[in-house]
Amino acid sequence: MDTRGRVTRDGIRIYEPGDFAGMHAAGKLAATILDDVAEHVFVGQTTAAIDDFIRFSVEEAGATSATIGYKGYQHASCISVNHVVCHGIPGEKKLKDGDILNIDVTVIVDGWFGDTSRMYVAGKLSRKSERLVQVTHDALMRGIEAVRPGNTFGDIGHAIQSFVEAQRMSVVRDFCGHGLGQVFHAPPNVLHYGRAGTGPVLEEGMFFTIEPMVNLGRPETKVLSDEWTAVTRDKSLSAQFEHSVGVTAEGVEIFTLSPAGRFHPTYG
Ligand code: MF3
Ligand code: CO
Ligand code: CO
């Protein structure tokens, strides 16, 4: 493993300027797959068929799925429908009209990890779901706007939490974003709630994800007996968006921007 670069006292690796290119390439592939998967989401489709397309796309690009074989997980994506918060396992259940789903893909390109997720809809998006998806998307972007050297991880969490709660929705506490780079999950835990000015200080060369999960109801979750699928305890709808980002001298580079400009569901 490559051990260049410095590690902060919080255990956060500081990557070098030349490392951004690798993250850009990995992020671009993951984002392209999320662009291309949109046409595979429709009423009557199974989430297993969506995952098959993703697995094929990763292979075709000559890349590797980071999730297949990760802690025993066997799929190229996580697909989380309606009240599933995250880590939904693709399966034979068919999508119904109005279902909202998060598709989360992580790829490895030349040793660099690209991790991103977006929301999709089968059939017609209800007003209630549209609002949830919009708020979750905007919460992620507000978190990203707080990324610049000298700000803290608490500033990111605070930006997300204050925005979401002002809309009378809730932020999931049980799952968080994470450092990544030449590994999938590394320090720090990137919390999507918190107080401004707290937590580690952001430095140029930090790579991590921001991936807020937002519920229409209460924030509590539970993991089902399959030991992966996390759901809202109150069965309320949940949404999530995820980008992989790097801290630059000026602010932030988003590695997983949609090449087709389709990151937001209503664009596609
Ligand atoms: N991509 C997820 C994340 O955002 C992790 C999925 S791990 C899996 O960190 F094993 F469930 F696929
Ligand atoms: Co992630
Ligand atoms: Co992810």
Token output for 57? 């796309």
The answer to whether 192 touches 171, Cβ cutoff 8 Å, is yes
Residue of 34, 54, 67, 86 to test ligand 1 pocket, by largest number of atoms within 8 Å of CB: 67
* Spatial distance between the Cα atoms of 61 and 83, rounded to a whole number of angstroms: 32
The pLDDT tens digits of the residues spanning 82-132 come to 999 999 999 999 999 999 999 999 999 999 999 999 999 999 999 999 999
Minimum-distance ligand 1 atom for the alpha carbon of 185: 9
Residue of 115, 223, 224, 256 to test ligand 1 pocket, by largest number of atoms within 8 Å of CB: 115
181 Cα–ligand 3 center, Å: 13
Minimum-distance ligand 1 atom for the alpha carbon of 73: 10
pLDDT for 55 equals 98
Sheet holding 230-232, edge to edge: 84-86, 230-232, 221-223
134 Cα–ligand 3 center, Å: 19
Q: Which of 242, 268, 240, 266 is nearest to 256 (CA)?
A: 242
pLDDT for 267 equals 52
Minimum-distance ligand 1 atom for the alpha carbon of 70: 10
Ranges of the chain with pLDDT below 70: 1-4, 265-268
242 Cα–ligand 3 center, Å: 6
pLDDT for 127 equals 95
* Spatial distance between the Cα atoms of 257 and 246, rounded to a whole number of angstroms: 12
Nearest CA to ligand 1 atom 4: 115
Please, what is the angle between helix 127-145 and helix 153-166, to 10°? 160
Taking a 5 Å cut-off on Cβ, the residues next to ion ligand 3 are: 104, 115, 242
Radius of gyration of the chain from Cα atoms? 17
pLDDT for 268 equals 47
As for ligand 1, residues whose beta carbon falls within 6 Å of it are: 67, 70-71, 73, 78, 87, 104, 106, 115, 209, 211, 228, 242
